A and B are shown apart, each in its own frame.
Chain A
């Protein structure tokens, strides 16, 4: 497994360098966790950045990992492409400890990845980024006609929908028949 220590760029320093809120408050070292996507590239992300993800935040709270345990057990997200996870990690680092402004210029720009990004962000439960991504999807059809929307959003025609439905029914029928035959074979 290859490993890169992401999330420690200048946009989101790994070590807390900012002054503590109160001079009297003791400085608590920031904890880090590790995540990887389909490409197995490990990203080091601070707990503060990961708070954007309700899913990961919940996992962290439940596990109570030490730094060593966290490093040894990166959270696997096999259903998310590496480049998509990278985008998500970058965004989380850039917005660590602060709310997303209404016009966020630090958001992923690659529209061709938007669909996968929505799925990933939805899975990771990053509400603010999800809101932004959905707005981006909506913006794709601004000022478009029905035919243009059909192309941009890849909407099947009624005939295509009907054909797909027939095909799905046929497949379901075959599978059911196969299961029945298998069950009959088992019974014998």
Chain B
């Protein structure tokens, strides 16, 4: 009987698949007891493993989790975006190239956490862990990379009921980002539920109207608040600026008149020895508006400190108690910085 190299001549694609399977399983047949290697060698092996595989290794057992935790691999700016029924988690790995004095992004990994499974973006791969809830996935990732807080928590289009659960997932975050996809109601509730865990808050939608007064947001005691909505400018008044209790406020786009900015500066100048918490206020007005410097500084003694003729105007205002505020104006943008 003649022999053929291909036992399935009529089904060559099947034969090809079969060969691939055999080759693949051949790799599986050469296992290595990696945990029996000398400690230093095992540590070096783990150093050589890519971050994604290191995470996969950490999921194998308690022992491997501890090994990865001890390996002191670091990640940067872990970010979580919360969707309707899952969390999209992004981790980044930076490198210090030789002759550079700054870090460069080496690679980033994106995971979608569901209960019992994690999906890897771009690898069409699903990691299953029956006993893991979304909270467990997040806690595991933060634990192995020694992160007690995440950099950014993004609230995308999710349900109100899910927000309480989210608060349990993330004890702290540097930046809370509330997407433009969220409804007014969700944005408002997400802010009040989650701002205590964040250092900075960013809104991507103007939710303020007669029913939702902006003052409630501006009087909160925290570090940084940013509103960004180019479609619906945020109406701002002198009273809003006077009740402000946030160190760093950015509004893009704000709707305020020069007259009110002028009154604000006059009141600040008169307020000797009074406490005013804000240090930086950055306002971008609508594109077609060009801020009139004369209107803003009418009746106010100031010093022009424009450093270069080509620079935009910068002004210094000194108060009786020695406090100083610098005002920078560029077309439709105005920036107050208490020095």
Residues on A facing B (Cβ under 8 Å): 111-112, 114-115, 118-119, 122, 130-131, 134-135, 137-158, 161
Residue in B closest to A159 when the chains form the complex, CB atoms = B61
- In Å, the complex CA distance between A111 and B32 comes to 9
In the bound complex, do residue A112 and residue B57 qualify as a contact, i.e. CB atoms below 8 Å apart? no
Residue in A closest to B59 when the chains form the complex, CB atoms = A146
Asked if A111 meets B30 with Cβ closer than 8 Å, knowing A142-B50, A142-B53, A161-B61, the reply is yes
In the bound complex, do residue A146 and residue B45 qualify as a contact, i.e. CB atoms below 8 Å apart? no
In the bound complex, do residue B30 and residue A112 qualify as a contact, i.e. CB atoms below 8 Å apart? yes
Residues of A within 8 A of B56 (CB): 141, 144-146, 149
In the bound complex, do residue A130 and residue B41 qualify as a contact, i.e. CB atoms below 8 Å apart? yes
Residues of A within 8 A of B50 (CB): 142
Is B35's CB within 8 Å of the partner chain A?
Answer: yes
CB distance from A152 to the nearest CB of B (A): 5
In the complex, chain B residues 50-95 whose Cβ is within 8 Å of any chain A Cβ? 50, 53, 56-57, 59-64
Which of these, A119, A147, A149, contacts B37 with CB under 8 Å?
A119
Asked if A118 meets B37 with Cβ closer than 8 Å, knowing A134-B45, A138-B45, A149-B53, the reply is yes
In the bound complex, do residue A138 and residue B48 qualify as a contact, i.e. CB atoms below 8 Å apart? yes
CB distance from B61 to the nearest CB of A (A): 5
Chain A contact surface mostly: helix
Q: 11 new A-B pairs (CB below 8 Å) besides A111-B30, A115-B36, A155-B60? A: A119-B37, A122-B41, A130-B41, A131-B44, A147-B128, A149-B60, A153-B35, A153-B60, A156-B61, A158-B61, A158-B62
Show 18 residue pairs from A and B whose CB-CB distance is below 8 angstroms, ordered by the A residue: A114-B32, A115-B36, A131-B44, A134-B44, A137-B37, A138-B46, A144-B56, A145-B56, A146-B59, A146-B127, A146-B129, A148-B28, A149-B56, A153-B31, A153-B32, A156-B63, A161-B61, A161-B62
- In Å, the complex CA distance between A174 and B149 comes to 47
Residue in B closest to A140 when the chains form the complex, CB atoms = B32
Asked if A149 meets B61 with Cβ closer than 8 Å, knowing A111-B30, A115-B33, A130-B41, the reply is no
In the bound complex, do residue B60 and residue A146 qualify as a contact, i.e. CB atoms below 8 Å apart? yes
Residues of B within 8 A of A115 (CB): 32-33, 36-37
Q: Which of B28, B38, B56, B128 has the most CB of A within 10 A?
A: B56
Task: Please list the 9 inter-chain residue pairs (A to B) with the smallest Cβ-Cβ separation, ordered nearest first.
Answer: A138-B48, A153-B34, A146-B59, A134-B44, A155-B60, A146-B56, A115-B32, A138-B49, A154-B31
Is B231's CB within 8 Å of the partner chain A?
Answer: no
Is B27's CB within 8 Å of the partner chain A?
Answer: yes
CB distance from B84 to the nearest CB of A (A): 26
In the bound complex, do residue A151 and residue B31 qualify as a contact, i.e. CB atoms below 8 Å apart? yes
Residue in B closest to A155 when the chains form the complex, CB atoms = B60
